[in-house]
Amino acid sequence: MVDLDIFITSRVKRKIVVFFVTYPVIKMHSRGLAKLLKEDPGNIQRELAKLEKVGFLFREKKKNTYTYFANTNFLFFSELQSIVVKVREQNSVARSNNYIERSVKR
């Protein structure tokens, strides 16, 4: 079973990338994203800044807060989406196979 941690070693960054390639039209505040992903807001903020710097995310200021959203024109955006979908499909198949194997052993 392949997991994204091979390619994206930071757990927090991996969660952020998966979220934004899965829901590219959603705009999120860093604290809301931290709550959703169950991660420390400081770690989320640090990774958001890095992803914005490389162009994966855009940042938009509304009053006193910033919201982040995916840059769907990012050079590797479609490839990242494809990788996330393939990993999820493979993990789903692996879970199904494990369930079948356990059911047969009973």
Domains of the chain, residue spans: 4-105
> 10 Å Cβ neighbour count for 2?
12
Q: What is the mean pLDDT of the chain?
A: 86
Lowest average pLDDT, out of 11-15, 77-81, 84-88, 96-100, goes to: 96-100
Is residue 88 over pLDDT 60?
yes
The answer for residues whose C-beta is within 8 angstroms of residue 3's C-beta and 6 or more apart is 87, 91
Fold of domain 4-105: Arc Repressor Mutant, subunit A (1.10.10)
Proportion of the chain above pLDDT 90, given as a percent = 62
